[in-house]
Amino acid sequence: MKYAYSNTRVKAMESKLVGRETLERMLAAKEPGSIAAMLLQTEYKTDVEKLGNVREMSELIDFGLSKNLGRETSKLISIAPKDQRAMMVAIAGRWDVSNIKILLEAVASKKSYESVSRYIIDSKYTGQSVAKEVMASKSVEDAISWLSLHTPYPSLLEGALSAYKRTRSAADASDALEYEYYLRLGKTINRLAGVDRGAADLIKSRIDMRNVLLLLEAKKHGADFASISGRLLPNGRMQAGALEKLFRDARSVEGLAESVKIFDLKNAVAEYGSGKTRPLMVFEIAMLNEIFRKALSGIRHSVLSFGALVAFLYLKEVEAFTIRILIKGRSYGLSDAEIRGMISWLK
């Protein structure tokens, strides 16, 4: 019964997710402001109201989505059973890693705080206040040093700093940080597998998606495996050796995608082959759909388990992704068919 409270809370949170019917109405809206008005009738009401002018929603929505996602993640951590809260913190730590990557690359390219703040998930350790401090850094080294002192990630950042000193590339520092995070997350995944195997598999699927997309991108642009091997994340269902074989055996993007067994990409291959621009996003959407279905099944069928918390985290991520595409797509003048093709929940 240790999950009775947390699962009851998660079920209540799940009931407030934006449903397909509402998303369909948003798709039918002719301008971003109309979509924003619909969000005022959802759990995003507080965040949208703080943004002020709904007519500028295409520029402001990222702030609201980031705020909401950060707050809901913090809520999940707070309602997790105390003896398993560390697992939830470790899983949610990928938002911190994402924030740090954005900040390091922004400092390296001399961007302003305003230009990146909308993309910062408002997490406990790397939220908006931390972002302001980091963006005041004069160099990537200074930014990493500040983060090492003021966040619980000094050991992860040590690898990022070493990578940056070798190549002077913020992208390499970001890759090193992300790799180290997922390497250490393996311990959490192994522990989670003993508690809820479905939840552990959900995390592995997200790692697999990132790795498969990296392989597809390299194959599309004619890169060799050695150039991307250091960027592949550990602790997915497919290990480095299997990923390398998959890449080397495939002669084309389509051939590689068809050889992936952990996701069903057959329809995505057909869509990719018939498209004029041949965007890799069709594969990302296909994999997101599978992860979404797993998460939805997890939260609907996980009775009194830790899996419901992990599943909700992924559902919330897909929701934010979907709303962002709806508003951005409409503001860029994309057709309904083009927007629908990029949205996971409307498949």
Q: Long-range pairs for 338-341 at CB < 8 Å and ≥24 separation?
A: 339/27, 340/27, 341/271, 341/282, 341/285
Q: Which domain holds residue 182?
A: 84-195
The verdict on residue 128 lying in a domain is yes
What is the spatial distance between Cα 163 and Cα 176, in angstroms, rounded to a whole number? 7
CB 64 within 8 A of CB 50: yes
What is the spatial distance between Cα 145 and Cα 133, in angstroms, rounded to a whole number? 12
CB 177 within 8 A of CB 96: no
Tokens of 87: 């697992």
What is the spatial distance between Cα 246 and Cα 240, in angstroms, rounded to a whole number? 10
Spell out the per-residue pLDDT of the chain, length 347, in tens: 678 888 889 989 989 999 889 999 999 998 888 888 899 899 998 888 877 665 666 667 888 889 999 999 999 999 999 999 999 999 999 999 999 999 999 999 999 998 899 899 988 899 999 999 999 999 999 999 999 999 999 999 999 999 999 999 999 999 999 999 999 999 999 999 998 899 999 999 999 999 999 999 999 999 999 999 999 999 999 999 999 999 999 999 999 999 999 999 999 999 888 866 678 989 999 999 899 988 888 777 766 688 889 999 999 998 998 998 898 888 888 888 888 888 877 66
What's the number of domains the chain is made of?
A: 1
- Cα-Cα-Cα-Cα dihedral of 161, 164, 169, 171, to 10°? -40
The verdict on residue 131 lying in a domain is yes
The verdict on residue 90 lying in a domain is yes
Q: Which residues contact 256 (CB under 8 A, 6 or more apart)?
A: 215, 216, 219, 246, 247, 250
Tell me which H or E stretch contains 90. Answer: helix 85-108
The verdict on residue 285 lying in a domain is no
The verdict on residue 111 lying in a domain is yes
Buried b / exposed e along 90-103 (16+ C-beta atoms within 10 A): bbbbbbbbbbbbbb
The verdict on residue 117 lying in a domain is yes
What is the spatial distance between Cα 58 and Cα 331, in angstroms, rounded to a whole number? 6
CB 88 within 8 A of CB 72: no
pLDDT of residue 337: 86
The amino acid occupying position 108 is A
- Sign of the CA dihedral with 121 first, then 127, 129, and 132 last: negative
DSSP secondary structure code for residue 40 in this structure: T
Tokens of 209: 């998606």
The amino acid occupying position 80 is A
The verdict on residue 151 lying in a domain is yes
Tell me how far CA of residue 200 lies from CA of 3, 193, 237, in angstroms: 17, 5, 10
pLDDT of residue 190: 95
What is the spatial distance between Cα 145 and Cα 152, in angstroms, rounded to a whole number? 12
Tokens of 317: 């991520």
Q: What is the CATH number of the domain that holds 112?
A: 1.20.1690
Tell me which residue has tokens 């507080």.
Answer: 46
Instruction: Provide the whole-model pTM.
Output: 0.87
The verdict on residue 165 lying in a domain is yes
CB 287 within 8 A of CB 318: no
